[in-house]
Chains A and B, each alone.
Chain A
Amino acid sequence: MADSTVSPPVAVRAERFGVLRRLFGAPLGAIAAIVVMAFALAAIAAPWLAPYDPNAIAPVNRMQGPSGAHWLGTDQLGRDLLSRIIHGTRTALYVAFAGTGGALAVGMAMGMAAGLGGKVLDSVLVLFNDSIKALPLVLFALALVTIYGASMVTLISVIAVSMAPGYFRVVRNQVMVLNNADFIVAAQSMGASRLRLAVTHMLPNLIGPILVLIAMDIPAVIGIESGLSFLGQGIQPPQSSWGNMLAEGYTYVRQAPHIAVAAGLPIVVSTIAFTFLGEALRDALDPRSGGRS
């Protein structure tokens, strides 16, 4: 009796921040998190951080190499590359978050419905998602661009639709596992409605795996945005995007290789940083990876 009323020396506060602590405890995770935060800051504060107007044309300064005035040099129209890259970060992250956000919302709603609804609904949704997954992404994207025209909205829609099946699958499987979990059955035995089960019990227990999936998906989405923009089917000039900058740099790669390098570098760095962040997050969220009693 006595021992059960004495509070054990468990630091509740420390536990709550355990995930962050473990994330920053791993060197790769910490570096990746800092790089990602730097990109995020650049995207948010782009108008204040960028030294020049990204679209200000100055033919006099065209294709200059890095200098004190233009740290990364200028492109074929004399625009400041650093400013364009900072604004390109904004474009990339905007597309990445809107795209994955849309995919998450659609995939999660379908996954919940499949996991909590009947067998027929589940079969229909699985068939639907598998069909979408079977479509080659570029073909699907080009078809949509042909119909609706190349724009940011089309791009985000393409990403949301093609990424949704991934979230659908994870959410559906997780819900099916949770369906038989004791604490879910316990909530049912108290008279909880399906909506309540989904919102108060399933959702909080789904966040871990979904967060990891998001972090892993973002580099893929950045790749899709850059790729389609490179092909001229994504973000349209003059709006800066890493992809269309890379395409322009590619045209002048003999005269001014610094343009292609400046545009390619953030694609590589951000992709690697998000991937490592995803992996570190997965390890940090896994209770079996230590740190918990």
Chain B
Amino acid sequence: MTRPLLEITDLEVRYPSAGYIARLRGAPAHVTVLPDISLAIDTGQTVGLIGESGSGKTTLGRAAMGLAPITAGSVRVDDITVTSQDAPEWRQIRLRTAMMFQDAVASLDPRMTLGTSVTEPLAIQGAMNGRRRDRAVELLDLVGLTPDFADRYPHQISGGQARRVTVARALALEPSLVIADEPTAGLDLSVQGELLNLLNDLQARLGVSFLLITHNLAVARHVTDRIAIMYLGRIVEEATSEQIFRAPAHPYTRALIGAKDATGGEGLIAGDVPSLTDRPTGCEFRTRCPLATDLCAQKAPALETIGAGHVASCHYARPQEMPVATPDPLTDRSEI
């Protein structure tokens, strides 16, 4: 069996919190966003990272690119392993990975033309061969944008077009891994579909792996091979997308799928997400779990294998067929 392309092992991310004064008053010195997390992505695979706001999925994505303070554990891409945020090896990792940010327009320098922005990775890594403008036009063409976009500024284009520009920029160095944070956020359904098809298409042509961070289950279902469900900075269930949607094991996953959208907007998961500085004892989901018992308050469940390639952390986890197949809004256009 070959090694995965990206391997995150026992990673801990802690942010220093509050100032000196607040700390004197007893505020905690650190906020642990990711206590201990492991994740692997194979070459050419798309892994979805799903959870509510504040579950740490964006932080995990950033940590994988050295953009978050790593206090323990390691990140490995190909044969490069790093264990801290300021390691010089990040430069090599960044040559092989690229990131797409949640807010596409804000991730483009407002004073730079799109052509300059798109070719910036090439300039930074000293990989510009040929004239900059020609490379820009090539990259824009890859995502279906005409050459005249090279001379425009970010505020002159639409959200969907900005998204395409960030895809083009992410692909500039022909990376083996792209971390996409909410790539469909703020796009209407038809543009979402277009973008996902574009990503699928590029993956088939270029063999890129994707780490897709999203709270939109329909999007995850549409494009991912595997899905990891996050809660309070931990992975509570991980399996193939098919398994997750057909037979979710963790009560949180089941609630999410019932709610369809992990924002919890439809109110199917009762209660609020607990504070990161005041985590519940035992199982951290017990405060909102319909199955919680005394055991859950005393003992934290470990991630256990409950099926082929299917892990979950719950004392009562067992794969359970979902009663009704939830309609997929991206393929089922009858309601629109």
* Cβ-based interface call for B151 (8 A): yes
Q: How far is the CA of A111 from the CA of B109 in the complex (A)?
A: 21
* Cβ-based interface call for B94 (8 A): yes
* Cβ-based interface call for B164 (8 A): yes
Q: Are B109 and A183 in contact (CB under 8 A)?
A: yes
Interface of A, secondary structure class, is helix
Q: How many residues of B contact A (CB 8 A)?
A: 38
Q: Which residues of A contact B108 (CB under 8 A)?
A: 183, 186
* Cβ-based interface call for A4 (8 A): yes
Chain B nearest CB, measured from A17 CB (Å): 13
* Cβ-based interface call for B91 (8 A): yes
Pick from B119-127, B227-235, B250-258, B301-309 the stretch touching chain A. Answer: B119-127
* Cβ-based interface call for B103 (8 A): yes
Chain B nearest CB, measured from A121 CB (Å): 16
Other-chain residue from A1, A190, A192 in contact with B144 (beta carbon distance below 8 A): A1
Question: Given A182-B107, A183-B107, do A191 and B151 touch, yes or no (CB 8 Å)?
Answer: no
* Cβ-based interface call for A290 (8 A): no
Instruction: Report the nearest B residue to A191, measured CB to CB.
Output: B94
Q: Are B160 and A4 in contact (CB under 8 A)?
A: yes
Q: How far is the CA of A7 from the CA of B121 in the complex (A)?
A: 25
Q: How far is the CA of A10 from the CA of B161 in the complex (A)?
A: 14
Q: Are B101 and A7 in contact (CB under 8 A)?
A: no
Question: Given A182-B101, A192-B124, A196-B124, do A4 and B156 touch, yes or no (CB 8 Å)?
Answer: no
Please report which residues of chain A, range 169-195, place their CB below 8 angstroms from some CB of chain B when the two chains form the complex: 181-183, 185-192
Please report which residues of chain B, range 98-116, place their CB below 8 angstroms from some CB of chain A when the two chains form the complex: 98-99, 101-103, 106-112
Q: How many A-B residue pairs have CB under 8 A?
A: 80
Q: Are A15 and B65 in contact (CB under 8 A)?
A: no
Q: Are A4 and B109 in contact (CB under 8 A)?
A: no
Q: Are A186 and B94 in contact (CB under 8 A)?
A: no
Q: Are B124 and A190 in contact (CB under 8 A)?
A: yes
Question: Given A1-B144, A192-B124, do A15 and B153 touch, yes or no (CB 8 Å)?
Answer: yes
Please report which residues of chain A, range 265-293, place their CB below 8 angstroms from some CB of chain B when the two chains form the complex: 287, 292-293
Q: Which residues of A contact B103 (CB under 8 A)?
A: 182
* Cβ-based interface call for A201 (8 A): yes
Q: How far is the CA of A200 from the CA of B109 in the complex (A)?
A: 10
Given A190-B94, A293-B155, 19 new contacts (CB under 8 A): A4-B145, A4-B158, A4-B160, A5-B145, A5-B146, A10-B152, A12-B156, A183-B107, A185-B107, A186-B99, A186-B101, A188-B67, A189-B99, A190-B98, A191-B94, A191-B121, A191-B124, A196-B124, A204-B111
A–B pairs, 28, beta carbons within 8 Å: A5-B145, A5-B146, A7-B148, A8-B156, A10-B152, A10-B156, A12-B156, A15-B153, A182-B103, A182-B106, A183-B106, A187-B120, A188-B67, A189-B94, A189-B98, A190-B121, A190-B124, A191-B94, A191-B121, A191-B125, A192-B124, A196-B124, A201-B112, A204-B109, A204-B111, A205-B109, A287-B155, A293-B155
